[in-house]
Chains A and B, each alone.
Chain A
Amino acid sequence: MMYYYKQLKKSPSYKFSDFKKACRKKNKNNFFITYDALEDADKYFNLRTKNQILDFIYNDGLENKILINAKIWDKNPNKNKPIMVDSYKFETGNRKGYIAFMYNDQRNKWIIKSFKLSEDTNDQMYYALKDAGILKQFNIDNGGKI
C-alpha cells in the first residue's frame, strides 16, 4: 500500500479506488469494521451488516465524496509505524455522511473506523435561518458548523 503523506494533509493517504476495490465480496475478510461504525451505519443508513456496508461502498454508494483530511491514527500503540486515517464526507439520498478508514499494511487489513452522519448534516436548517436573516440578526453565523 502506498502512503503519500505522514502528516495531517488535505490530500488522501490512500487511493479511494484501492479502498473501493477492496470492498469486493471476496476481500471481505481483509476488512474490519468497528462496532461504533457498524452501529451508526445501521442507525443512520439502514446498513445492518458488514456485507451490506461493503456492498454499498463497492457499488458507488458514497456519492459526491469530499476528502476532509488525512491524519495519523492517534491511538496506534506502535508509534514507530504510523498509520494514516482518511476521512471523507459523502452524500447518499438526502443524507450526508462521514466515513473514516485506514489500512494496516502489516496485518493487510482495511479498517473502517467511522461511518456516521456528517457533522454539517443540518445545513438545510442553517441556510433556512440564514435566508431568513435570523443568523445575522443575532450574530450567530458560524458557517453551518454544529
Chain B
Amino acid sequence: MNKKSCPVCGSEEIIEKKKTISISEPFVGQDNIEVFENICYSCKSRGDFFNQNESLLEETIKELKQKSVKRILEYFIDKKISMSSIERALEMPQRSLTKWKNNSSKASSAGIALLRFIRLFPWLLEVAENKYDFKMAQKIQINDSINKLHTQKSVAGWIEEFNYGPREYPKIDAAETFLTVDLITEDSESTVISKENNIEEELLIAS
C-alpha cells in the first residue's frame, strides 16, 4: 500500500486540509476556490504535496481571464466605442473581438494584454488610429492627462473645499495647452531660453 509522505523530507506525519484562496484578475474581480493544503509535522513544509491544485488553479485563471475579456468589451460598448472601430484602429481581423466576447474563440495572452492596456488607457486607440506617430502620441497622452487633471480635484483642492466650501474650477482649454506643449517640444533649447529672456524683459518693463 502506498502511504502518503512529505515530498521534502519523506516523513509520513502529514496532514491534509482544505483552505479557501482567492484568485483575482484585473477588471473582473476575484473568485474563491477551495484548495488542498498539506503540512508536514517533521519539517514544517507547507504546500500541495500531491499536485492536486494545479489543474483547478489553471482552469480558474483561464475562466477569469475570459470573463475579464467579456467585461472589457462590454465596457467599450457602454462607452459607445464599437468593436469594429477598435478592430479597425488596431488592424485586427474583423469580428475577432465579437468572437472573443461570445466565447466562440478564445483570446490569446497577447490579445488579453492588449485589451487590458486599451481599457486602462483608451487614448491608445487614438494613437493607433494616428499610425503610432510619436509626436501625435505624445500630444494625445498629454491632452488626456490634462483633461484628467482638470476633472479630478487635487488633494489640496479637497482640503480647501473642506475649509472654505465648494469652489468653481476654471476650465482649461486643452487645445490652448497644446500650443504651449508644441512650443516646448518643437523649439530648440536656445529658442526656449530666448523666449524666457523675452518674458523676463517684458516683466521688467511692466514693473
Interface positions of A (Cβ within 8 A of B): 29, 32-36, 38, 48-51, 75-78, 104, 106-107, 109, 111
Contacts and interface: CB of A to CB of B under 8 A. Distances in A.
B47 A33 contact: yes
Given A48-B57, A49-B61, A77-B43, 11 more contacts: A29-B51, A38-B47, A48-B61, A75-B43, A77-B9, A77-B42, A78-B9, A78-B10, A106-B10, A107-B7, A107-B8
B48 interface: yes
B51 A35 contact: no
B69 to A, nearest CB: 17
B46 A36 contact: yes
Contact of A109 (B7, B11, B42, B61): B7
Contacts of B8: 32, 104, 107, 109, 111
B7 A51 contact: no
12 contacts: A34-B47, A35-B48, A48-B23, A49-B58, A50-B51, A75-B43, A77-B42, A78-B9, A104-B7, A104-B8, A107-B8, A109-B8
A127 to B, nearest CB: 28
Nearest to A36: B46
Contacts of A38: 47
A104 B49 CA distance: 14
A51 B54 contact: yes
Interface in B1-51: 7-11, 23, 37, 42-49, 51
Contacts of A107: 7-8, 10
List 6 A-B pairs, minimum CB-CB distance, nearest first.
Answer: A77-B42, A32-B7, A35-B47, A35-B46, A34-B47, A75-B43
Nearest to A109: B7
Contacts of B51: 29, 50
B92 to A, nearest CB: 25
